[in-house]
Amino acid sequence: MKAVLIQMNSGNDKQANLQAAISLMETAIANEHPDWICLPEVFDFMGGSKADKRANAETMPGGPAYTAMQALAKKHGVFIHAGSMLQLIEGENRVGNTTIIFNRKGEEIARYSKIHMFDITAPDGKAYHESAAMKPGDSIVTYECEGITIGCAICYDLRFPDLFQALVDRGAQVIALPAAFTLQTGKDHWEALIRARAIETQTYFCASAQTGRFQQGQETRSTYGHSMVVDPWGLVIACASDGPGYVSARIEPERVKNVRAMIPVAAHKKRLS
C-alpha cells in the first residue's frame, strides 16, 4: 500500500484551509499515485476562540470539509483518512475533534473522535485547555484498507500507550496519527514518542502534522510539523521538511509480520496484577 501524508499550516480561514488541502492532495495524487492519504489534525480550522470553533464546525455527513474529502476520494479512487475536522454535536456546546475515513468510492467507512484532551501548560507558560472547546471521544476504532488494518489516534493520544496496545489487540498493523504538536513539545518529544509507539506495537506509524504559526485569539502559536512514517522496527522511512507539503512511503504487511516474528512481544506479554 502506498501512503501519502499531507502536512499543512492551517489557520482560522476555513475556505482557505480546504483549498490548501485539496491542492496538496491533488498534487500528491498526480505525482505519487497513492492508495491512502492522511491529513493533519483540524486541517479544516485551527485556532480561533471556542465560539469560532463552533461556528466553523459541521454536521457529518454534510458540511463543506466532509463533502470535499468525500468527493476527492470518489474522484480519484483513493482512501482518505481525513485528518480531523470540527464536528457539531447535537445538544453539546463543545465540538468533536473527529476523523472520518472514506474508501475509494467516497463512502464513510469509519470515524474516530480524539479521546485524550490536551489540557496542559507549556514550558513557555501558554495554557492549552482543549477540553473547554472540544468533547472527548470514548471509542477505539480500526478499519480495513487494502487488506491492512489501520488504527486511529489523534495528536495528544500519542502519549497514552494503552490506547495503542488496544489497537494492536484489534489487529492494527498501521497506526494513523493526525496531529498538531506544539513546537516546544514537538522538538523534544515528537519523534521519540512516535518511534517508541511503533517499536512497542510493531506497527507502521503514519503521523501527519500541522506546521508553522497560527493565531489562537491574541496569541501567536507554533506547531512542529515533521510529518513522518516510521516502520515496525522504529526506523524513520519518510519525514517532511519544514512548511506545507507531503511525504510518501510504502506500507509492507510482510514487514510487520517479520518484525513480530523476530521479537514476539505479543506472545511474551504477561498479565500484571
Cell numbers of 108, please? 464513510
CATH, range 2-268: 3.60.110.10
pLDDT at 250 over 90: yes
Does 152 participate in catalysis according to the annotation?
A: no
Confidence of residue 272 (pLDDT cuts 50, 70, 90): confident
Write down the catalytic residue from 38, 145, 152, 155.
Answer: 155
Helices 191-201 and 161-169 sit at what angle, rounded to 10 degrees? Answer: 30
Q: What is the pLDDT of residues 5-53, one digit of tens each?
A: 999 999 999 999 999 999 999 999 999 999 999 999 999 999 999 999 9
- pLDDT at position 125, please? 82
Residue of 266, 212, 267 lying closest to 242 (CA atoms)? 212
Instruction: Say yes or no to pLDDT of 273 above 80.
Output: no
φ/ψ (deg, to 5) at 264: -80, 70
Identify the band that residue 218 occupies on the pLDDT scale cut at 50, 70 and 90: confident
Q: What is the pLDDT of residue 122?
A: 81
Q: How many CA atoms lie within 13 A of 1 on its CB side?
A: 23
Cell 502559536 belongs to which residue?
Answer: 221
Q: Which position among 38, 53, 58, 114 bears the catalytic label? A: 114
Tell me the mean pLDDT in the region 203-220.
Answer: 94
pLDDT for 127 equals 85
| Averaged pLDDT of the chain | 96
- What percent of the chain lies above the pLDDT cut of 70? 100
| CA dist 217 → 12, 131, 134 (Å) | 10, 17, 16
If you average pLDDT over residues 262-270, what whole number do you get?
93
pLDDT at 67: 98
Q: Work out the pLDDT band at 188, boundaries 50, 70, 90.
A: very high
Q: Is 114 a catalytic residue?
A: yes
* Residue of 14, 41, 145, 152 with catalytic role: 41
Q: Where are the alpha helices (DSSP H) in 136-243?
A: 161-169, 183-185, 191-201
pLDDT at 46: 96
pLDDT in tens, 125-149: 888 899 999 999 999 999 999 999 9
Known active-site residue 155: yes
Three-point CA angle 117, 191, 198, nearest 5°: 85
Write down the pLDDT at residue 51: 93
Residue 124: predicted pLDDT: 80
